[in-house]
Protein backbone atom coordinates (compact mmCIF):
# COMPACT_ATOMS: atom_id res chain seq x y z
CA UNK A 1 0.00 0.00 0.00
CA UNK A 2 1.38 3.41 -0.90
CA UNK A 3 1.77 6.19 1.66
CA UNK A 4 -1.18 8.21 0.41
CA UNK A 5 -3.59 5.29 0.71
CA UNK A 6 -2.15 4.44 4.12
CA UNK A 7 -2.84 7.95 5.40
CA UNK A 8 -6.33 7.94 3.94
CA UNK A 9 -7.13 4.70 5.75
CA UNK A 10 -6.41 6.22 9.16
CA UNK A 11 -9.67 8.15 9.29
CA UNK A 12 -11.70 5.62 7.27
CA UNK A 13 -14.37 4.00 9.49
CA UNK A 14 -14.70 1.18 6.95
CA UNK A 15 -11.10 0.05 7.58
CA UNK A 16 -9.37 -0.95 10.84
CA UNK A 17 -7.08 1.61 12.45
CA UNK A 18 -4.19 0.76 14.79
CA UNK A 19 -5.11 3.49 17.27
CA UNK A 20 -8.74 2.40 17.47
CA UNK A 21 -7.69 -1.25 17.81
CA UNK A 22 -5.54 -0.11 20.74
CA UNK A 23 -8.51 1.74 22.21
CA UNK A 24 -10.68 -1.38 22.02
CA UNK A 25 -8.01 -3.59 23.61
CA UNK A 26 -7.67 -1.07 26.45
CA UNK A 27 -11.41 -1.28 27.06
CA UNK A 28 -12.29 2.00 25.34
CA UNK A 29 -15.41 2.85 23.37
CA UNK A 30 -14.10 5.08 20.57
CA UNK A 31 -13.78 2.39 17.93
CA UNK A 32 -15.78 0.88 15.08
CA UNK A 33 -16.97 -2.65 14.40
CA UNK A 34 -14.21 -3.15 11.85
CA UNK A 35 -11.65 -2.24 14.54
CA UNK A 36 -13.19 -4.68 16.99
CA UNK A 37 -13.06 -7.46 14.42
CA UNK A 38 -9.39 -6.78 13.70
CA UNK A 39 -8.67 -6.64 17.45
CA UNK A 40 -10.32 -10.02 18.02
CA UNK A 41 -8.24 -11.46 15.19
CA UNK A 42 -5.14 -10.02 16.84
CA UNK A 43 -6.15 -11.61 20.15
CA UNK A 44 -6.42 -14.99 18.45
CA UNK A 45 -2.86 -14.59 17.16
CA UNK A 46 -1.34 -12.97 20.25
CA UNK A 47 -3.62 -13.32 23.29
CA UNK A 48 -1.12 -11.58 25.59
CA UNK A 49 -1.24 -8.32 23.61
CA UNK A 50 -3.82 -6.50 25.80
CA UNK A 51 -1.53 -6.90 28.81
CA UNK A 52 1.39 -5.47 26.82
CA UNK A 53 -0.67 -2.52 25.55
CA UNK A 54 -1.96 -1.74 29.04
CA UNK A 55 1.63 -1.78 30.26
CA UNK A 56 2.58 0.80 27.62
CA UNK A 57 -0.02 3.11 29.16
CA UNK A 58 1.23 2.26 32.65
CA UNK A 59 4.79 3.07 31.59
CA UNK A 60 3.58 6.45 30.35
CA UNK A 61 2.08 7.05 33.80
CA UNK A 62 5.24 6.03 35.62
CA UNK A 63 7.45 8.19 33.38
CA UNK A 64 5.13 11.18 33.79
CA UNK A 65 5.09 10.80 37.58
CA UNK A 66 8.89 10.75 37.68
CA UNK A 67 9.11 13.82 35.44
CA UNK A 68 6.55 15.72 37.51
CA UNK A 69 8.61 14.97 40.61
CA UNK A 70 11.60 16.46 38.80
CA UNK A 71 9.65 19.67 38.24
CA UNK A 72 8.49 19.35 34.63
CA UNK A 73 5.22 21.18 34.06
CA UNK A 74 5.12 21.28 30.25
CA UNK A 75 4.48 18.15 28.17
CA UNK A 76 4.36 17.57 24.41
CA UNK A 77 2.89 14.18 23.54
CA UNK A 78 2.90 12.49 20.12
CA UNK A 79 0.55 9.71 18.93
CA UNK A 80 -1.44 10.36 22.10
CA UNK A 81 -4.55 8.39 21.31
CA UNK A 82 -7.63 9.34 23.28
CA UNK A 83 -6.79 11.25 26.50
CA UNK A 84 -8.48 8.74 28.78
CA UNK A 85 -7.42 5.95 31.13
CA UNK A 86 -4.61 7.54 33.16
CA UNK A 87 -3.37 9.94 30.51
CA UNK A 88 -1.00 12.81 31.34
CA UNK A 89 -3.54 15.45 32.39
CA UNK A 90 -5.24 13.01 34.76
CA UNK A 91 -2.09 12.56 36.87
CA UNK A 92 -0.42 15.97 36.46
CA UNK A 93 -1.00 18.73 39.03
CA UNK A 94 -3.24 21.68 38.22
CA UNK A 95 -1.53 24.20 35.99
CA UNK A 96 0.50 21.66 34.02
CA UNK A 97 0.43 22.53 30.33
CA UNK A 98 -0.01 19.67 27.89
CA UNK A 99 -0.06 19.55 24.11
CA UNK A 100 -1.43 16.23 22.83
CA UNK A 101 -1.37 15.17 19.18
CA UNK A 102 -2.43 12.31 16.95
CA UNK A 103 -2.42 11.58 13.22
CA UNK A 104 -6.03 10.34 13.24
CA UNK A 105 -8.50 13.25 12.76
CA UNK A 106 -11.30 11.14 14.25
CA UNK A 107 -9.26 10.70 17.44
CA UNK A 108 -8.47 14.42 17.50
CA UNK A 109 -12.15 15.31 17.23
CA UNK A 110 -13.17 12.93 20.02
CA UNK A 111 -10.25 14.08 22.17
CA UNK A 112 -11.18 17.74 21.87
CA UNK A 113 -14.65 16.88 23.18
CA UNK A 114 -13.13 14.96 26.12
CA UNK A 115 -10.75 17.80 27.04
CA UNK A 116 -13.42 20.46 26.76
CA UNK A 117 -12.47 24.02 27.65
CA UNK A 118 -9.41 23.32 29.83
CA UNK A 119 -7.12 26.28 28.96
CA UNK A 120 -3.93 24.34 29.78
CA UNK A 121 -4.53 21.45 27.39
CA UNK A 122 -4.66 21.33 23.60
CA UNK A 123 -5.10 18.40 21.22
CA UNK A 124 -4.02 18.86 17.60
CA UNK A 125 -3.55 16.76 14.49
CA UNK A 126 0.07 15.84 13.77
CA UNK A 127 2.02 13.00 12.17
CA UNK A 128 4.63 11.79 14.70
CA UNK A 129 6.94 11.20 11.75
CA UNK A 130 6.81 14.93 11.00
CA UNK A 131 6.98 16.54 14.46
CA UNK A 132 8.09 19.90 13.10
CA UNK A 133 4.48 20.44 11.99
CA UNK A 134 3.56 20.67 15.68
CA UNK A 135 6.82 22.23 16.88
CA UNK A 136 6.43 25.16 14.50
CA UNK A 137 2.74 25.68 15.21
CA UNK A 138 1.19 28.72 16.86
CA UNK A 139 -0.66 26.58 19.38
CA UNK A 140 2.61 25.47 20.95
CA UNK A 141 3.76 29.07 21.27
CA UNK A 142 0.42 30.07 22.78
CA UNK A 143 0.57 27.23 25.32
CA UNK A 144 4.27 27.33 26.27
CA UNK A 145 5.41 30.79 25.24
CA UNK A 146 9.14 30.75 24.52
CA UNK A 147 9.94 27.98 27.03
CA UNK A 148 11.33 24.91 25.27
CA UNK A 149 12.48 22.94 28.31
CA UNK A 150 9.77 20.31 28.16
CA UNK A 151 9.03 16.62 28.61
CA UNK A 152 8.23 14.90 25.31
CA UNK A 153 6.21 11.68 25.06
CA UNK A 154 6.71 9.28 22.15
CA UNK A 155 4.92 6.13 23.27
CA UNK A 156 3.37 3.31 21.27
CA UNK A 157 4.46 4.85 17.97
CA UNK A 158 8.13 4.02 17.36
CA UNK A 159 7.34 0.59 15.90
CA UNK A 160 4.97 2.16 13.37
CA UNK A 161 7.76 4.37 11.97
CA UNK A 162 10.60 3.26 9.70
CA UNK A 163 14.18 3.82 10.83
CA UNK A 164 14.62 6.84 8.56
CA UNK A 165 11.39 8.47 9.68
CA UNK A 166 12.00 7.78 13.37
CA UNK A 167 15.57 9.10 13.19
CA UNK A 168 14.21 12.26 11.57
CA UNK A 169 11.70 12.70 14.41
CA UNK A 170 14.37 12.26 17.08
CA UNK A 171 16.62 14.79 15.37
CA UNK A 172 13.84 17.36 14.94
CA UNK A 173 12.83 17.02 18.59
CA UNK A 174 16.42 17.35 19.79
CA UNK A 175 17.07 20.45 17.69
CA UNK A 176 13.89 22.11 18.92
CA UNK A 177 14.10 21.25 22.62
CA UNK A 178 16.06 23.31 25.15
CA UNK A 179 18.84 21.75 27.25
CA UNK A 180 17.36 19.86 30.19
CA UNK A 181 14.44 18.54 28.16
CA UNK A 182 13.47 14.87 28.46
CA UNK A 183 12.14 12.39 25.89
CA UNK A 184 10.28 9.34 27.20
CA UNK A 185 9.33 6.48 24.90
CA UNK A 186 8.73 2.77 24.56
CA UNK A 187 9.49 0.36 21.75
CA UNK A 188 9.78 -3.38 21.13
CA UNK A 189 13.26 -4.86 21.36
CA UNK A 190 13.28 -7.30 18.45
CA UNK A 191 15.86 -8.54 15.99
CA UNK A 192 14.37 -8.17 12.48
CA UNK A 193 16.41 -11.16 11.33
CA UNK A 194 14.81 -13.42 13.94
CA UNK A 195 11.12 -12.79 13.31
CA UNK A 196 9.05 -15.76 14.40
CA UNK A 197 6.06 -17.21 12.58
CA UNK A 198 3.71 -15.88 15.28
CA UNK A 199 5.08 -12.38 14.92
CA UNK A 200 4.84 -12.53 11.13
CA UNK A 201 1.08 -13.07 11.50
CA UNK A 202 0.82 -9.88 13.59
CA UNK A 203 2.92 -7.98 11.06
CA UNK A 204 0.72 -9.22 8.23
CA UNK A 205 -2.41 -7.97 10.01
CA UNK A 206 -1.05 -4.44 10.47
CA UNK A 207 0.40 -4.38 6.95
CA UNK A 208 -3.02 -5.19 5.54
CA UNK A 209 -4.57 -2.16 7.27
CA UNK A 210 -1.84 0.07 5.88
CA UNK A 211 0.08 0.60 9.13
CA UNK A 212 3.10 -1.72 8.97
CA UNK A 213 5.25 -2.52 12.00
CA UNK A 214 9.03 -2.02 11.95
CA UNK A 215 11.33 -4.24 14.00
CA UNK A 216 14.56 -3.01 15.60
CA UNK A 217 16.77 -3.80 18.56
CA UNK A 218 17.06 -1.37 21.46
CA UNK A 219 20.72 -0.88 20.51
CA UNK A 220 19.62 0.27 17.06
CA UNK A 221 17.08 2.66 18.56
CA UNK A 222 19.72 4.24 20.80
CA UNK A 223 21.98 4.77 17.78
CA UNK A 224 19.13 6.53 15.98
CA UNK A 225 18.22 8.63 19.01
CA UNK A 226 21.70 10.17 19.43
CA UNK A 227 22.60 12.79 20.59
CA UNK A 228 19.77 12.22 23.10
CA UNK A 229 21.43 10.60 26.12
CA UNK A 230 20.27 7.79 28.37
CA UNK A 231 18.73 8.95 31.65
CA UNK A 232 18.08 7.00 34.85
CA UNK A 233 16.97 4.29 35.39
CA UNK A 234 18.10 3.16 31.92
CA UNK A 235 16.55 0.74 29.44
CA UNK A 236 14.10 -1.45 31.35
CA UNK A 237 11.36 -3.82 30.29
CA UNK A 238 7.89 -2.38 30.85
CA UNK A 239 7.16 -4.74 33.72
CA UNK A 240 10.39 -3.67 35.44
CA UNK A 241 9.33 -0.02 35.10
CA UNK A 242 6.07 -0.66 36.89
CA UNK A 243 7.43 -3.06 39.53
CA UNK A 244 6.16 -6.36 38.10
CA UNK A 245 9.53 -8.07 37.77
CA UNK A 246 9.72 -9.58 34.28
CA UNK A 247 6.73 -11.90 34.27
CA UNK A 248 4.90 -10.22 31.40
CA UNK A 249 8.07 -9.95 29.32
CA UNK A 250 8.78 -13.65 29.78
CA UNK A 251 5.20 -14.46 28.77
CA UNK A 252 5.58 -12.38 25.61
CA UNK A 253 8.93 -13.92 24.75
CA UNK A 254 7.56 -17.42 25.15
CA UNK A 255 4.51 -16.57 23.04
CA UNK A 256 6.69 -15.24 20.23
CA UNK A 257 8.68 -18.46 20.19
CA UNK A 258 11.66 -17.31 22.22
CA UNK A 259 13.47 -14.97 19.82
CA UNK A 260 11.80 -11.69 20.73
CA UNK A 261 12.84 -9.62 23.75
CA UNK A 262 9.68 -7.74 24.54
CA UNK A 263 8.63 -4.13 25.06
CA UNK A 264 10.81 -1.72 27.01
CA UNK A 265 10.73 1.90 28.12
CA UNK A 266 13.36 4.58 28.44
CA UNK A 267 13.78 8.24 29.36
CA UNK A 268 16.34 10.24 27.39
CA UNK A 269 17.75 13.66 28.17
CA UNK A 270 19.26 16.61 26.33
The predicted structure's pLDDT at residue 109: 87
User: For 18-75, how does the pLDDT look when each residue is reduced to its tens digit (9 = 90+)?
Assistant: 878 888 888 877 788 998 998 998 888 877 777 778 888 889 999 999 999 999 999 9
SS3 234: coil
Other C-beta atoms within 10 Å of 119: how many? 7
Cα distance between residue 242 and residue 56, in whole Å: 10
Angle at 22 (CA atoms; ends 16, 26), nearest 5 degrees: 135
Cα 229 to Cα 147: distance, rounded to the nearest angstrom: 21
Cα angle 7, 155, 34; round to 5: 45
Percent of the chain scoring above 70 in pLDDT: 88
Give the model's confidence band at 85: pLDDT under 50 very low, under 70 low, under 90 confident, else very high: low
SS3 85: coil
List strand residue ranges (DSSP E) for 45-188, in order.
Answer: 74-78, 97-102, 121-125, 151-154, 182-188
First to last CA, the chain: 37
CA dist., res. 8 & res. 4, Å (int) = 6
CATH number for 3-269: choose from 3.40.50.150, 3.40.50.720, 3.40.50.1100, 3.30.1510.10: 3.40.50.150
Looking at residue 6, what is its pLDDT?
41
Calculated CA dihedral for residues 112, 113, 115, 116, nearest 10 degrees: 110
List the one residue out of 247, 225, 226 whose CA is nearest residue 158: 225
pLDDT tens track for 66-76: 999 999 999 99
Please give the distance of CA 59 from its chain centroid, rounded to a whole number.
10
pLDDT tens for each residue of 246-267: 555 555 555 554 444 678 999 9
For the chain, the domains span 3-269
Kindly state the average pLDDT of the residues 96-125. 91
What are the residue ranges of helices labelled H in 27-125? Answer: 33-45, 49-69, 88-91, 105-115
Of 159, 212, 215, the C-alpha closest to 191 is: 215
| Lowest pLDDT segment from 33-37, 201-205, 215-219, 231-235 | 201-205
Residues 123-151: tens digit of each pLDDT: 999 999 999 999 999 999 999 999 999 99
Q: How far apart are CA 107 and CA 71, in angstroms?
A: 30
| pLDDT at residue 110, rounded to an integer | 83
Amino acid sequence: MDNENSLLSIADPSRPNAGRIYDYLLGGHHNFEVDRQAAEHLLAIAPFMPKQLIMIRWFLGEAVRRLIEEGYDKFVDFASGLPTMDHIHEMAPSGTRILYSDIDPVTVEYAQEIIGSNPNIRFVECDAGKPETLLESKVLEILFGSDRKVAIGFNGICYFLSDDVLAHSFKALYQWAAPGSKLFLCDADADPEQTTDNLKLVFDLYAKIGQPIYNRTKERLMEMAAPWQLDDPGLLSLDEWIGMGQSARVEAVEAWGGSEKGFYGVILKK
